[in-house]
Structure 1
């Protein structure tokens, strides 16, 4: 697998991308794809005048076998040592990190599908915003039912990258920015259910019984859970607009974990009815619900004869993980991150799983 290094030049509302070098002699590579946050990468390579001139901040690092994820170099560290040699550490995040350079300004009130809401936010702040534009940026492919669900919300001054991935986690979708020629495309998508709890897709099961689960740890904590929100909006005293929100049936008794959400700064605009305003408050309440904290760390076989990463399953998919020795099974758990590592010992995969509703 080769690394491709591209220069990225902004030409007003467009970008120009050109291949600067191809590299296949790095010491190690970490490629961290995340579902609910921007992924990152690290290249560790012998330092030479040529490599220092190639790996420059602002340039793009791509993999010859990955057409979806492109890193932008943000940090360089050069270390020289007479005995151990000279090395360059190149780090950065994937192209979605460009959205971190913008906030939502001014206030946007949106009503419609989540796809339409994201389009509106990006159009006003990134795509058609004059000097605030991200050159070459546009919407790409949208897939997944979660993006067609509807909501009404009001957002202002949030960092766009943080807001977008917070929204993704709320609805169970994800976003990725990829390079498409001389354009930046923002795709919205969702994961596929490949767990034992469905029969539409082939099952993906990581288990010690199948020798594809190399190590396994699991912990659960209910202390952080919040499953019922009281949301108070604009107004004073008893006149404050208020509502409640929970996901599914209202929890009761010992199963109820309440949270207060203060939205007094969310104004009710003149063209927004009371019912529509309460829907805006409910959307905010949904963002403040917290599931029981679980931690599941595993190492899985990188060269499994049963399943191949990025062919049979992908980050964002729902799979099954079981440890038969201790009778533990997570029948439907989401793969929310995968660190792919290449070094002198070969290739390894370190997944991150999270139990979802």
Structure 2
């Protein structure tokens, strides 16, 4: 009995140690660490809405991190430079690569194409440790002086397949899912003046089992990387409802706006919402709401029926312009967001896909973005 008891303790101990040693990139329960919740795709400009100023790359609260990065490549995780993220780590001898850009197209490893086969042995959720290339990236940036007192976010629009990120030698978080953005609130880690950014990218992860059908397997930064600043009270997310009534003539408009309050700021804030015809600029709806900032997720909702809207279809893509503006109690506009949308109703009736009450047949093939990177 004593031997059997000791054996059970040993098995439990080994199991616990192995559980502790599971890599994030082999753990289906982990898709992000310290990552912001998903949100709608938009960029908030400081101040009032200006129809001639909608290029985020020219906004004063935007800082691109595209360009030349220092880079190191190894074939397996065990060989990666484990402390490269430290501020004093010398990367002067590393190569230069362009971001965004896949490292296979810049001279490291090779692109892999398979249809239904995996590029590694099928042993879900594990990835071979003798071949899972790791790319270590590093660069510096200067934080604009006028960003002081605001919330600073670091955004990766697309990285394949999984990655860790450090700012000024401090671990910020982890993310995987190659085709969705990852945002991190780095306010506590950045400082005035020069800052250091390090990113460790793994070619394969447990998510690669879901990303394996009929396309090229390439790695690294596939889309833009940038920083942006927001007021402490700002619009975190919004959701547009733009359907039609039963006659497919009048628009049913709805909008939910979620407010972020970091750290908690007390005061009166107002959300203004305007809907305009995109071509003529005619305003068809205007509303104002006041969020209650003391709640966990302050929200403001709007709804309206808009008569005789111009319908959106693939053949006639009529669109409207939504403008959201957040202002403080003194009437100062803190930020503005604009988004185009269309009124349509998509449904399945009697087994048939319908758009605005008319049957639609979809024909298409796989579409993957490989140009220009």
Task: Provide the TM-score with structure 2 as the length reference.
Answer: 0.22
CA radius of gyration, larger in: 2
> Between Structure 1 and Structure 2, which shows a larger proportion of helix residues?
1
* TM-score, L = length of structure 1: 0.22
